[in-house]
Amino acid sequence: MRYLLREASEIVESFRKINSFQDFADLLEVDYFWFKQELFAVPLEEKYTSFTIPKRNGESREIYSPVSGIREIQARLNEVLRLVYEPERKQSVHGFTTSRNIVTNAKNHCNKKFVLNLDIKDFFPTITQQRIRGVMMSPPYNLPSQIATTISHICCYEGKLPQGAPTSPIISNIVCAKLDSELRLLAKQNKCFYTRYADDITFSTIVKNFPLSIAKITGLKITDVSLSDNLISIFKSNGFQINFNKVRIQGDNQRQEVTGLTVNNKPNVSRKYIRQVRAMLHDWHKNGYVQAYINDSAIRYQKNKNRVNFSSALRGKIEFIGQVRQKDDFIYQKLLTFYEKLIEREIIRQRSLKFDDKDYNNWCDSVDEYALHIINNYIDAISVDIDNMKECIQQGFDELDKLRKKQDPDYDLPGVPIAYAFKYLPRKIIAMTAVLSHYFREENVPIPEKILDVGSGTDAVGIALGLFRQKMSFQITAIEPCSYMRQFAMFRPSLPNLEVLNVNGRLGDWFNYLNNNYFNLIFMSSILQNSFENLGNSWWLEWANELYQASTNNARLILIEPSVKVKLVNKMKWAMESSGWILREQLLLSDLFPNVFNKGCQLKKLTSLKQELIGNYCPWPVSGWNTYYKYNEVIHIYSKNNQ
């Protein structure tokens, strides 16, 4: 998504002339006072959420994901820095840059006598706030001290470059510019080729003996190599260290690899990779999508608890093969054709699917698998001591009970998001699946590719979960006025097709976003209506107009409302129809998928997990649907035209 509206040349020129904080705000096209507020008034601990992901060697990597305002500032600054950096980019740089990737990186080292691979140790954390400031004050940027300091402040967390921030990749390239120049010169002097992809350094040569001024081969193993003092000193003088555990050299009689691709002849994926993709396709063909999904998930979760959906992951692997081997490659074409036939079969099967008891139980089991791992993600991300788990979650439920009293819970307590997941996730999964099953199967409506979820609490994740059995080419954007969405943002690594934009209820920011994006499915629910309850009709009308302008011609807008809020429902209905939306249908959510609601208590695995952790502390939420909730959600379906 692009944030800045001006032409690239204007942005670069403004960057060169920046001289004050006001100039900086104008460059990023943000309000001056909001800019200062987000940078200096918001506490650091509220600017980032953190979680860990496992490395291949069994260690973990800490990811710091910016939230709310600081993420938008970083995204805007990232656009500026990329435009400024591109003219200065070295030919040897292939990571985090336009039109370059691991394939272009590998091509530089094909058909070589020797390939030497290095790795920079602790790449991002080594790039400090002070180093960024120094680079920004030096040629070719020559920024004033105040601006350079502000940029380094925006880009760093606790004085270091965080993994997970939008600005970190481009900043790393900028800081490495001097290193790239010196290593490129060293390579040229020794008849070698040099490239860098992020923290992966590669030298290669066609000469008979590898240059001793770069490295010396000391044995027959690929790890038997000693780096020259000259090479080590270049890294050291630029503030970096080499990870000596990852140094390796491969001759042309061995399998030579560069950024995961073999380069002995031409860039290619490994045979093991192709066999893995073929096995996933055959599993889907033989055992069905759900079973293949669970089988693949069981393997993946042993290594990585962050969810990547099966269909998208499989398509991504196939497209990667096509990227490396080219689109006309026989193996790529064969795998892609197999995949598309399976997708077509799945869509046809699901459109004709009738949820009897057996089908429902199978579906419920697969939802359990998904939701269980997401709740475990909550627990892992918060790092709650298991000895205090029961007390922690009980405290979380107590805090959530404040919502009924119209009080704000303390969302910083670690038990709150876990309790929240237990309380609402299964219900939202079922509700969203019910809606989607009705409108994108039985009504034969094309499955949407771009979904907007507005003010709907956990519905965005519910949509992602509910759609997991369908075509996986969709992208969900969640615009949330709810403060608990900050906690919910930790789901993002589990749902790569979910983008969370927490604008804290600023309607102007919502409108600006809608003006520049288009969607073919829009979800809304009563949380947004609550935030508009005391506003005048003009806000409702303006909001409905913006939704109309942001949608494609074949768009559907689905409002999910509690029937008890008749006044608010009628108010929204008036705004929608006044803006051009056509009300297509109105019905109760319980009418869409009665089997699911009548058997909601069958989410046995989630119930067992909850009882294991906290016993029978509070009623399981789905057990109250027949009494308290009464399935009273009303569904209003609007369309932009009469098709």
Q: Which two tokens stand for residue 129?
A: 């706030």
Q: Which long-range contacts (CB under 8 A, 24 or more apart) does 136-142 make?
A: 140/88, 141/84
Convert the pLDDT of each residue in 219-277 to its tens digit: 989 999 999 999 999 999 999 999 999 999 999 999 999 999 999 999 999 999 999 99
Highest mean pLDDT among 76-85, 488-497, 564-573, 583-592: 76-85
Which of 166, 246, 160, 250 shows the shortest CA–CA distance to 203?
Answer: 250
**Contact (CB, 8 A) for 242 and 232:** yes
pLDDT at 243: 95
410 or 603, greater pLDDT: 410
Provide mean pLDDT across the span 387-397: 73
**Contact (CB, 8 A) for 581 and 557:** yes
pLDDT at 253: 92
Q: Which two tokens stand for residue 433?
A: 């699946």
* Residue 512 reports pLDDT greater than 90: no
Residue 535: pLDDT band (50, 70, 90) is: low
Cα distances (angstroms) measured from residue 1 to each of 5, 9, 450: 11, 19, 13
Q: Which long-range contacts (CB under 8 A, 24 or more apart) does 400-405 make?
A: none
Which residue(s) pair with 637 in the sheet?
A: 558, 585
pLDDT at 141: 93
52 exposed, middle or buried (CB, 10 Å; 0-12, 13-18, 19+)?
middle
pLDDT at 620: 36
Convert the pLDDT of each residue in 284-343 to its tens digit: 888 776 567 656 644 443 334 333 457 778 888 999 999 999 999 999 999 999 998 888
* Residue 628 reports pLDDT greater than 80: no
pLDDT at 191: 96
CATH fold group of domain 357-640: Rossmann fold (3.40.50)
Alpha helix segments (H runs only) across 30-128:
32-36, 68-85, 102-107, 123-126
pLDDT at 457: 56
Provide mean pLDDT across the span 147-174: 95
**Contact (CB, 8 A) for 519 and 451:** yes
* Residue 151 reports pLDDT greater than 70: yes
Convert the pLDDT of each residue in 7-25 to its tens digit: 999 999 999 999 999 999 9
Please state, in angstroms and rounded to a whole number, the distance separating the CA atoms of residues 210 and 192: 9
Convert the pLDDT of each residue in 327-352 to its tens digit: 999 999 999 999 988 887 766 665 55
pLDDT at 476: 76
pLDDT at 434: 57
* Residue 430 reports pLDDT greater than 90: no
pLDDT at 576: 84
Please state, in angstroms and rounded to a whole number, the distance separating the CA atoms of residues 632 and 638: 19
Provide mean pLDDT across the span 354-364: 52
The pTM (predicted TM-score) of the whole model is 0.57
Q: Which two tokens stand for residue 250?
A: 């491969």
Convert the pLDDT of each residue in 108-123 to its tens digit: 999 999 999 999 999 9
Residue 488: pLDDT band (50, 70, 90) is: very low
Q: Which two tokens stand for residue 598?
A: 């009548």
Q: Where are the domains of the chain?
A: 8-262, 271-352, 357-640
Residue 197 φ then ψ, to 5°: -120, 100
